[in-house]
């Protein structure tokens, strides 16, 4: 399973890239706003900087709410950089925009996907990625990961050329479950990526190896 980083923070991306496991980045207007980005020009500069750091898909979301506006923004955003994937929401306007831009060869990440029916519509329109939002479904008392599993089944059963991108990941167990149900990608916040590196028994193991090594060195240096 691939790992994308879910952030617009350049420092987090720089640090995550050093781990060598990140093959893409997802952003959204909230993540951009958190970094002080408030217009498409600033969003573009940040995305071009991200493209210098990560050699994989970078998802950038439209902010328009009507289909015409989304199509215009999608065309503009897609031209920023070859790595850019345009995020379009799972709404009537979003599907109408997908119907236009997918045919033009623009790669789309269908975002804010909360049902199998929405996923089917995106798959039929030829989106490159479908993003079920696991954490937000869990927050509402639903089983977010069950939707990921259903979408994986849908995409494989009918051989749609789309990747299932588990999004709204809140903790390391979500990543494990995404693997178990066969998601192609999980997009993780930096904090979760760091949590994934850690296990207390690894720390204890290192401590013990270091102590034993030092003891052996001391014993050998004694006359």
Catalytic residues: 87
CB of 220 to ligand E4P, least distance (A): 53
Contact present, 113 and 132 (Cβ < 8 Å)? yes
CB of 34 to ligand E4P, least distance (A): 10
Taking the C-alpha atoms of residue 62 and residue 59, their distance in angstroms, rounded to an integer, is 10
How far, CA to CA in Å, does 95 sit from each of 29, 89, 92, 176? 19, 8, 5, 31
Strand 163-166 relative to strand 185-188, pairing: parallel
**Residue 122: other Cβ atoms inside 10 A:** 27
CB of 175 to ligand E4P, least distance (A): 12
Q: Which residues contact 82 (CB under 8 A, 6 or more apart)?
A: none
Q: Which is nearer to ligand E4P, 81 or 136 (CB)?
A: 136
CB of 68 to ligand E4P, least distance (A): 24
Q: Which is nearer to ligand E4P, 44 or 87 (CB)?
A: 87
Q: Which is nearer to ligand E4P, 95 or 205 (CB)?
A: 95
**Phi (first) and psi of residue 6, to 5 degrees:** -100, 85
**Phi (first) and psi of residue 67, to 5 degrees:** -60, -45
Q: Which is nearer to ligand E4P, 59 or 90 (CB)?
A: 59
Q: 152: part of which helix (H) or strand (E)? A: helix 144-157
Q: Which residues bind ligand E4P (CB under 6 A)?
A: 6, 26, 28, 59, 111, 131, 133, 135-136, 167-168, 187
């Amino acid at each position: 399973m691939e790992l994308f980083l879910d952030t617009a923070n350049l420092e987090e991306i720089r640090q995550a890239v050093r781990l060598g496991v990140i093959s893409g980045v997802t952003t959204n207007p909230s993540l951009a706003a958190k970094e002080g980005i408030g217009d498409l020009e600033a969003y573009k500069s940040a995305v071009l900087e991200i493209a210098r750091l990560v050699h994989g898909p970078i998802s950038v979301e439209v902010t328009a709410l009507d289909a015409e506006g989304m199509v215009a923004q999608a065309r503009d955003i897609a031209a920023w950089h070859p790595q850019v994937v345009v995020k379009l929401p799972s709404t009537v306007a979003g599907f109408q925009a997908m119907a236009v831009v997918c045919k033009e060869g623009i790669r789309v990440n269908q975002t804010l996907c909360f049902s199998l029916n929405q996923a089917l519509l995106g798959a039929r329109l030829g989106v490159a990625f479908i993003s079920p939002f696991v954490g937000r479904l869990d927050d509402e008392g639903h089983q977010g990961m069950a939707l990921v599993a259903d979408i994986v089944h849908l995409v494989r059963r009918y051989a749609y050329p789309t990747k299932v991108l588990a999004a709204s990941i809140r903790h390391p167990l979500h990543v494990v479950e995404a693997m178990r149900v066969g998601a192609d990608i999980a997009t993780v916040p930096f904090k979760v990526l760091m949590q994934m590196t850690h296990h207390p028994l690894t720390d204890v193991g290192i401590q013990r190896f270091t102590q034993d090594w030092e003891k052996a060195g001391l014993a050998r240096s004694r006359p």
